[in-house]
Chain A
Amino acid sequence: MSFLSPGRTVRPGDSGLQTLIAVGTVRMFAKNAHIALPLMPALLFVVFAFLLPILWFLSQATNGRPVVSVIPATAEAIAGWDGVGLPQDDVFEALVRDLTQAEPADVASLARELNFRQAGNRRLILQAARELEADLGGEARARLEAINGAWASPEIWRVIRQSARTFTTYNILESLDLEAGPDGGVSVKPVDDRLFLGVYARTLTISLTVTVICVLLGYPLAYAVANAPARTAAILMLLVLLPFWTSLLVRTLAWMVIFQRQGILNGVLIEAGLMSEGLQFLRTRFAVIVSMTHIMLPFVVLPLISVMKKIPPNYMNAAESLGAGRIRALVSVYLPLTLPGLSAGVVLVMTLSLGFYVTPMLLGGGGDQMISNLVATFVNRSLNWGLAAALGLWLIVFAMAFIAVVGGTLSSKKWAVS
């Protein structure tokens, strides 16, 4: 080899190349130290307080160690089973051995993990562990089947096979209402078993509705602020920014006061003679959307104002002098020039709306809960971190896809109004 290429060859992985990269990095850092050093505290904070915890949390979606660490021998043995019929004897033997050797606390955690997959598994595991300890001999398969007939059917073994992997896709599939068949093929669950697809659709619908309303309300508002005389613009700006200075929780609670059965809105409606008795506003989709729109409006207005302020009035004058009516001039000249600001606002409102939690919880009914509410339930109530992480992961994927599509089509335009 060396006589074919007399010069020094550098391949990836060569210690030479690695040294080169290392030296290069150090040099780059040294050269830009005046930028890199002041950046360090914030960078470290973001990495340790934000990035790493989130990555750790998301990694729980595919983490099978809580199962594998309790039944290591079974995990190894069951990997060789093809999922058809019942597993071989060695799998039964391994499970019996694992269950008798495991600590009671670990068995309980295993029982909980497997119960997430299928209700009833907790009882099955705990019962097996308890009775295996009392009874001391015999063939493994017969012993388990004697304890509970369920061990003679393939379901529980499929669950164990799917769960007893260090890297499991179970939560990822489950969170999209998908299931892996015995042969490993992925299919959508029957309609009655679907839990999450509807909630995703609802989350997207609510977020899109809020985004559209925000644009419809925010665009003319931003136009007014950007083109108003200085004093009027300052007052309007104050009104736009006011919600920013109040906490989200306080604003949501204020909406609760307004929307109550005996609340302000019903009071006004009854007083005006429009109704004889109060309407149900609280725990409706209407309340959720009104409140979210109120909270999100500044996010679409502010980027629009900054873009609109930079558009010289001459553009509209030019369009009109060339024969375009006011509407045509607005649509063909003004609107395209505001697209960068509009896309920034839309992306902000959409991505923030996707993650809403407090507002749907306090103002919405059971049918208005969004993905974040489910994530919270899984984390706080059932301690199913894996599924919660998987749901969160998809939420991030949706948000990123939206940013890519909207940001890619709208904001990458080459023009800039200077």
Chain B
Amino acid sequence: MNDGTDIEIAQGDDDFIRFQAVKKSYPGGVDVIANLDLSVRKGEFMTLLGPSGSGKSTLLMMLAGFEKPTAGTIVVGGRDFTHMPPNKRNIGVVFQDYALFPHMTVAENVGYALRARRVPRDQQVEKVNAALSLVRLEGYGHRRPSELSGGQRQRVALARALVFDPDLVLMDEPLSALDRQLRDHMQIELKRLHEKLGLTVLFVTHDQAEALTMSDRVVVLNDGAIEQVGKPEDVYHRSGSFFVATFIGETNVIEATLDEIAEGKGSVRLPNGVRLTCQVSGGMVPGQGVKLLVRPEHVCVEARQSSTETGHFDTLPGRVEERIFYGDHLRLTIATSGGGSLVAKIEQHATDQKYEIGADVGIRFLPDYVRAYPLEEGAT
């Protein structure tokens, strides 16, 4: 019934892939994906980011056809994919463990999709060689996967997924098995291929740094639902929820009470009486408890003469407890007078303050970078 022809949806490049009210639940279990809507643009590098169990891999497996949604539809390029068998979808998949066929050579692995599509023999050879040179593995065709390094296997898996000019490439944590240096290298390599070939890529990862560096847009998933979809900058600087803010990057959390809201800015009071200005989201009312989130690089530290000196009303007094020197920056853990502690990341030059352990400091925040979230949301 669902052979794609009866779906009449006007689709532009803006929703090349469309998940509509997709739901996935296993018998006797909870919902892995609950009523999810998502659109992916053509040529976009979209990352699905979330902790394990957030449903990001399930979403990918449903798109590849290895899992069937319990409800909802998946449309790609105007064709209904919901019940289409995986071999008809023309999607390249790179698996976490690469799933290279151990009994075939590299060339046979890469050419598998061409043989399945009955591409003429001479074209097969040509395309396999082109795919191998694309991932910089010319001359490795006769080797077996077992004779390759982790990074080389990764690239063979990539070549195998690209050789048949798929409409879409799915990658399920493809870099997680590589060591850090190789991972950084492959990230650049993947970006290069994405731009060169104009691929539409759906990339699954639990590594937030990877998501930020590689993606055009990031989808943050938690418990089978979308928390936020946006550019890496948006997700990082303007996190849509407490979960997103704490999951992506490092964040200081300070509890406070909202006093008043004026011109989109909130005024909050810390338990020790210090007042701060912050960004507030809609639906907040004066008097409610909030959590303030500040990234370590947005914490400003200034020297104080003694612990008794009172600074400005918006300055939080504290004392350096821990100090780690990273070369380009200094990382301080500062105990505040309120009893909590904050992490600050400050640029470091040879002539700058040293902030030795035990030094008394004052902490200030730039109002634009302090965001308030309702207290109960982060309670769990």
Contact = CB atoms under 8 A, between A and B. Distances in A.
Interface of A: 312, 314-315, 317-325, 328-329, 332-333, 336-337, 413-417
Contacts, number: 70
A319 B66 CA distance: 11
Chain A interface mostly: helix
A183 to B, nearest CB: 54
Interface string B75-115: 00000000001110111110101010111000000001100
12 contacts: A317-B66, A317-B86, A318-B93, A318-B99, A321-B91, A322-B112, A323-B117, A324-B112, A324-B116, A337-B102, A337-B103, A414-B146
B65 interface: yes
A321 B60 CA distance: 12
Given A312-B99, A337-B102, A416-B102, A321 B116 contact: no
A264 B154 CA distance: 60
A117 B65 CA distance: 73
A329 B113 CA distance: 11
Contacts of B97: 312, 314
A27 B93 CA distance: 56
B144 A323 contact: no
B227 to A, nearest CB: 28
B146 A323 contact: no
A337 B66 CA distance: 21
B160 interface: yes
Contacts of A319: 101, 112, 116
A414 B65 CA distance: 32
Contact of B99 (A315, A325, A414): A315
Given A336-B103, A413-B103, A317 B93 contact: yes
Given A324-B116, A325-B87, A415-B146, A317 B102 contact: no
Nearest to A324: B116
Given A314-B99, A415-B103, A321 B93 contact: yes
Given A314-B97, A321-B66, A323-B90, 15 more contacts: A312-B99, A314-B99, A320-B65, A320-B66, A320-B87, A321-B65, A321-B86, A321-B93, A322-B164, A325-B87, A325-B116, A413-B103, A414-B144, A415-B103, A415-B146
Nearest to B92: A321
Given A324-B87, A337-B102, A317 B64 contact: yes
A317 B103 CA distance: 16
Interface of B: 64-66, 85-87, 89-93, 95, 97, 99, 101-103, 112-113, 116-117, 144, 146, 160, 164
A333 B115 CA distance: 13
Contacts of A336: 103
Nearest to A325: B87
B144 A415 contact: yes
Contacts of A417: 102
A324 B64 CA distance: 13
A215 B230 CA distance: 55
Contacts of B89: 321
A323 B103 contact: no
A47 B79 CA distance: 71
